């Protein structure tokens, strides 16, 4: 018999059980993911993530036949940068921006970048986590009222429920970015920008898509514990 170690634990996003607000937001997001591709009404997922800038204290040893590359366990912290990503799953198109900070102004300017990428669209559905910077107030804190309102009107904001970030497809693409491009020590934000730009171009040229299959109907069966229960 295998016994678990009570000292072992792992951080996890645990959704609330029997919570009507959670499942309502979840099903809304899942219904949006069922939409067919429409360039006039694109569904775009947005997420952000920090990237620790780290430099080596000692020169790493390159890999050789039969031996993996090695680097010293000691390192030097060189600050943090922020990664914004906007990903249209059905089109296989993504936009990535590296900023020095993650303020409401940084987010507002990234929305402006997204808008410029979709000038032909009539309305952009933007799925994102419900962070305090992810709202129309950030637009008004960054741009004059007429510009803020004009930009806001270009989007339909859709928020994943609290503890439901796994519903954000952009999080999947961020994990791909970290695994393929940023899974090593990098000490300079400009190097991060250069590497991420090359990765973005490669993924866009390959039209790398995400085929989301999980639906609200699936959720009612597989995640039934999250739904409120009713007596006979």
Query: Does residue 80 sit in helix, strand or coil?
Result: strand
> Which residue range is the domain that position 141 belongs to?
20-57+72-226
pLDDT tops 90 at residue 11: no
Least confident of 4-8, 90-94, 128-132: 4-8
Q: What's the rounded Cα separation, in Å, for the pair 194 and 180?
A: 14
The CATH number of the domain holding residue 204 is 3.30.420.10
pLDDT digits (tens, 9 = 90+) for 129-166: 999 999 999 999 999 999 999 999 999 999 999 889 99
Rounded CA separation 76/139 (Å): 36
Q: How many domains does the chain have?
A: 1
Tell me what the pLDDT averaged over the chain comes to.
Answer: 89
pLDDT band at 63 (very low <50, low <70, confident <90, very high): low
Could you tell me if residue 159 is inside a domain?
yes
Residue 137 β-bridge partners: none
Instruction: Say if CB 177 and CB 96 are below 8 A apart.
Output: yes
Assigned domain for 202 exists:
yes
180 three-class SS: helix
The model's pTM: 0.85
Task: Confirm whether 3 is domain-assigned.
Answer: no
As a whole number, mean pLDDT of residues 48-72 equals: 68
Residue 40 lies in a domain: yes
13 inside domain = no
Domain annotation covers residue 10: no
Determine, yes or no, domain membership for 8. no
* Res. 61: pLDDT tops 60: no
> Which phi and psi (to 5°) does residue 43 adopt?
-105, 115
Residue of 33, 24, 47, 21 whose CA lies nearest to 214: 33
E strand or H helix at 81: strand 75-88
Q: Give φ, ψ of 99 to 5 degrees.
A: -125, 160
CA angle 100, 105, 109 (to 5 degrees): 90
pLDDT digits over 197-206, tens only? 999 999 999 9
Structural contact between residues 118 and 124, judged by C-beta atoms closer than 8 angstroms: yes
Beta-bridge mates of residue 53: none
What is the b/e burial string over 195-232, where b = at least 16 CB atoms within 10 angstroms of the residue's CB?
A: bbeebbeebeeeeeebebeeebeebeeebeebbeeeee
On whether residue 64 sits in a domain, the answer given is: no
């Amino acid at each position: 018999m295998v016994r678990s170690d009570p000292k072992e634990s792992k951080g996890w996003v645990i959704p609330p059980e029997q919570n009507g607000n959670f499942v309502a937001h979840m099903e809304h997001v899942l219904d949006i993911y069922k939409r067919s591709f429409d360039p006039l009404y694109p569904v775009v997922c947005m997420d952000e993530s920090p990237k620790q800038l780290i430099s080596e204290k000692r020169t790493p040893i390159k890999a050789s036949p039969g031996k993996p590359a090695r680097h010293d366990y000691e390192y030097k912290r060189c600050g943090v940068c922020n990664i914004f990503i906007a990903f249209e799953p059905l089109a296989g198109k993504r936009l990535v921006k590296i900023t020095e900070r993650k303020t409401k102004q940084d987010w507002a300017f990234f929305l402006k970048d997204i808008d410029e990428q979709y000038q032909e669209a009539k309305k952009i559905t933007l799925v994102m986590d419900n962070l305090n910077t992810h709202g129309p107030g950030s637009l008004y804190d960054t741009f004059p009222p007429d510009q803020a309102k004009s930009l806001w009107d270009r989007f339909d904001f859709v928020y994943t429920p609290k503890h439901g970030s796994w519903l954000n497809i952009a999080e999947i693409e961020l994990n791909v970015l970290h695994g393929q491009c940023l899974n090593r020590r990098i000490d300079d934000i400009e190097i991060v920008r250069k590497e991420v730009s090359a990765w973005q171009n490669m993924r866009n040229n390959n039209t790398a898509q995400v085929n989301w299959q999980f639906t609200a109907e699936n959720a009612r069966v597989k995640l039934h514990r999250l739904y409120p229960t009713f007596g006979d």
